[in-house]
Amino acid sequence: MNIAQFRGEYLKERLKLLADLGYNTVIWEIENNIRWETCPECVAPDAFTKEEFKEILAYSRKLGLEPIPLLQTIGHCEYVLKNERYKPLAELPERIDQYCPQNPEVVRFLRKWTDEYLEVFGPIKVFHLGADEAYTLGQCPRCRAYAEEHSLSELYIGHINALSQPLADKGVRPIIWGDMILHHPEALDKLSRKVMIFDWLYDRYYGCGQVHIWGQGNRGRDDLDAATRERFFAYLYPSGDEPGRDPDPFYTADFLQARGFDVVICPSSSCYGDSVFAPRTFFHMRNTVDSFRKGLSRPHKGAVLTSWTVHLFPWELQETSIELAQFIVRHPEGDLAAFEKSYVRDHFGVEDRRFFGAAGRLAKRGLFNSAADLGFFKDARPAPKDYVLNRVEEIAKNGTLEKEAQACADRLEEYGRGLAEFREYSKAVKKGQKELEFWDLAARNLINRAEAGRVLLKDKKEGNGQKIRTEAARVLEGLRAIRRETEAAYLTRIKPQRTKEIMQWMYDSVETALEEVAGPTGGEGEKESPKKKAGR
Ligand SMILES: [Zn+2]
């Protein structure tokens, strides 16, 4: 909730829905969304008071949802380190994403904050220490010296043990994400077995055709180095390595379990690779169904569906994965086709499964419709207004104008078909219009964005003629209208200040670029030149 700062009432609605579906736990990555005393500088303007949040937790408990707090304890701490006062806690002075695990002040600070979490959350059984994606592990002089004498693995594990011990002493089990110890497993035996491992991977499913090696990325079956084969062979090829057998994409969970850890498997309904307007529905469903099957089978300890709000699209568009997780609990033998049937019956009162085809048309990311292309990141700072203008320059410089223009045209066609299919579908269904309106809005946002990409590239390629100015003005007008509509939809879910910021991330740099091409007559009449605005 560093990114999405939900309104209390909306959160309660979602909690009720999750409880009704049969979920039993909620992990709260609450970040700067509570008025913390340990770190008052990082608190978001719209943050809950402790009393407000305690009331939400009490409601959640009443519904049967056990709360698990999550505090970032090494990486992903931009929301803290971007404040001047905490810069000395950073691993590298030029970065704000990681604490230095060898700085004793870091451990003191995090222990104090952990105690404040325990005070707010009340009696809990487990506590998630985050600890994923510590990209600069071992890079400051102190950490480098330690890692040279011991290892990166020991450096990381020492930090986790230091934070875990006080929790374990209080009878609370610590949790960490699995990526770092899988990347650096050498000293694994030194990690306390009280620590549970949440093994996450969002592009993993049976038949995905590749195996993910932490620290190396995705590899083909014949492309594994000797160390990987030696360490993981028994788990990659539990039935032997022979032609026709694929490596097991869940080998990491089995490896960790065999080393004595309790493992929970974590798919995602929203993650990197999605656009800001719509998810890759089928992709997330495959990841979710296989991860839940694996996590719910012995000896593993369960499964947790994660949703990363940095990708901005609403939970309503993630409903398929959210419900699929529970479908698998209730129908262990059910497949995706059976799930789709039951989903459309429940949501739309029909047997017609075209909903899924239409959602699939919106699944591909395109130019200027993802976080990386719009210039906002986990640090939640404003996106530079000239970000898209600069990206267009970059594309021209790389000589890929033609290729990008073709991709825009392809996306425009797919998104357009998606919209048409949703419209047809909404005439055929017996209920569920509200859900389809969300998809309709997503499709129109994607179409507008693909049109924006097309006109910006065309302007760059052909020079600024009257025809292009007129086209840019039309797309700009469409963008402003859909921005207002999207803002109104978000305002009912997200707190006002953060809604404004999300709109800034989603639209501002594209709007600025279109203003630049459309010229003064295409914009809102006489106002500040966009060029001047862009430089601000
Ligand atoms: Zn360090």
What confidence tens digit (pLDDT) does each residue in 44-68 have? 999 999 999 999 999 999 999 999 9
Give me ligand 1 centre to Cα 165, in Å: 21
Q: For residue 197, list its beta bridge partners.
A: 176, 263
> Residue 532: which pLDDT band, with cuts at 50, 70 and 90?
very low
**pLDDT tens-digit profile of 115-174?**
999 999 999 999 999 999 999 999 999 999 999 999 999 999 999 999 999 999 999 999
Q: How far is CA 95 from CA 86, 91, 141, 478, in A?
A: 12, 8, 15, 38
**DSSP result, 304-346:** --EE-GGG---GGGGHHHHHHHHHHHH-TT--HHHHHHHHHHH
Residue with tokens 């055929």: 428
The amino acid that residue 295 corresponds to is G
* pLDDT digits 0-9 by tens, 486-530: 999 999 999 999 999 999 999 999 999 999 999 986 545 444 444
The most confident of 206-210, 228-232, 347-351, by mean pLDDT: 347-351
Give the distance (Å) from ligand 1 centre to CA of residue 96. Answer: 13
Give the environment of ion ligand 1: residues with CB less than 5 A. Answer: 91, 100, 102, 140, 143
Ligand 1 centroid to 421 CA: how many Å?
Answer: 53
> How far, in Å, is the centroid of ligand 1 from the Cα of 34?
28
* 107: pLDDT strictly greater than 50: yes
What local confidence, expressed as pLDDT, does residue 332 receive?
87
Are residues 497 and 512 in contact, defined by beta-carbon separation less than 8 angstroms? Answer: no
pLDDT above 80 (res 257): yes
Contact 426, 436 (CB under 8 A): yes
C-alpha 187 – ligand 1 centre gap (Å):
18
- Phi, psi angle pair for 27, to nearest 5°: -95, 125
Mean pLDDT of 27-47: 96
pLDDT of residue 464: 87
What percentage of the chain's residues is helix, strand, coil (to nearest 5)? 55, 10, 35
Centre of ligand 1 to C-alpha 150, Å, is 14
CA of 105 to the centre of ligand 1 (A): 11
- CA 140, 146, 152, 158 torsion-angle sign: negative
For 418-470, what is each residue's pLDDT tens digit?
999 999 999 999 999 999 999 999 999 999 999 999 999 999 999 989 999 99
Q: What type of residue sits at position 198? A: F
What is the distance in A from the centroid of ligand 1 to the CA of 84?
Answer: 18
Tokens standing for residue 527: 């106002």
192: region left, alpha or beta (phi > 0 left; psi from -120 to 50 alpha) = beta
- As given in the structure block, the two tokens for residue 215 are 């620290």
Strand partners, 303: 265
Please tell me the distance between residue 79's alpha carbon and the centre of ligand 1 in angstroms: 19
* Ligand 1 center from residue 141 Cα (angstroms): 7
Distance 111 CA to ligand 1 centre (A): 18
Surface-to-core class of residue 169, CB atoms within 10 Å of its CB (0-12 exposed, 13-18 middle, 19+ buried): exposed
**pTM above the 0.85 mark?**
yes
- Output the CA 257–ligand 1 centroid distance in Å: 30
3-state class (DSSP) for residue 25: strand
Mean pLDDT, the chain, as a whole number? 95
Query: Residue 534: which pLDDT band, with cuts at 50, 70 and 90?
Result: very low
| Pairing relationship of beta strands 306-307 and 126-128 according to DSSP bridges | unpaired
Cis peptide bond N-terminal to 299, omega within 30: yes
Residue 430 in tokens? 């017996």
Alpha-carbon distance of 419 to 284, in angstroms, equals: 21
Query: From the CA of 177, how far away is ligand 1's center (Å)?
Result: 20
Structure tokens at 425: 């579908």
Question: Which pLDDT belongs to residue 522?
Answer: 59
> Do the strands 263-266 and 196-200 form a parallel or antiparallel pair, or are they unpaired?
parallel
- Alpha-carbon distance values, 81 to 32, 60, 78, 86, 180 (Å): 12, 31, 5, 5, 21
In angstroms, rounded to a whole number, what is the distance separating the alpha carbons of residues 382 and 376? 7
